[in-house]
Amino acid sequence: MESITFRPGRAFLSSNSTTVPWTVVFEDEGIAGYFYACDRSQETQDHAILDAMLIYNVGTLQNPEIERLASVEWSRDGFQAVLYLDGSAQALFDFAQRCGYCRMDFPNFLQEQGDTWQKSSHAWNDAAFARFEAGLYR
């Protein structure tokens, strides 16, 4: 598990899967915190980002001045990653299923022809998270 301690408004945590080429990034540049699914085999950053999910808006956080802990945990097979904030799961990317789930369920887009990643819903999925956790202890 990779972690950083940060104050909302300034954070960056990148974590590579043992399964190439998957990477996830948690980033807060001041207004909001986002979690990105990335393919590090792509040549440009624009092409590398497969999906993005809103984790929080800084202005709506309770006690935004206190330090937080962001952590990323990968599944054993390297196809799933969970973002935890202060020990609570906030988002899950599943690279095998090409989808993401987050507590904010945002942003959502209409599916376009040729899309390989499901972006029409990011609704949190308790069953997917339970499968992730169960896989850690097998």
Give the start-to-end residue ranges of the domains of the chain: 2-136
Integer Cα distance of 86 and 63 in angstroms: 13
Can you tell me whether residue 93 is helix, strand or coil?
strand
Can you tell me whether residue 18 is helix, strand or coil?
coil
Question: Is the per-residue pLDDT at 130 higher than 90?
Answer: yes
Query: What are the pLDDT digits (tens) for 5-52?
Result: 999 999 999 999 999 999 999 999 999 999 999 999 998 888 899 999
Query: What are the pLDDT digits (tens) for 66-118?
Result: 999 999 999 999 999 999 999 999 999 999 999 999 999 999 998 888 888 99
Query: What are the pLDDT digits (tens) for 48-75?
Result: 999 999 999 999 999 989 999 999 999 9
36 by Cβ neighbours in 10 Å (0-12 / 13-18 / 19+) ranks as buried
* Greatest C-alpha distance within the chain: 44
Can you give the pLDDT at residue 128? 97
Can you give the pLDDT at residue 114? 83
Q: Where are the beta strands (DSSP E) in the chain?
A: 2-6, 11-16, 22-28, 32-39, 49-57, 68-74, 80-85, 88-94, 99-102
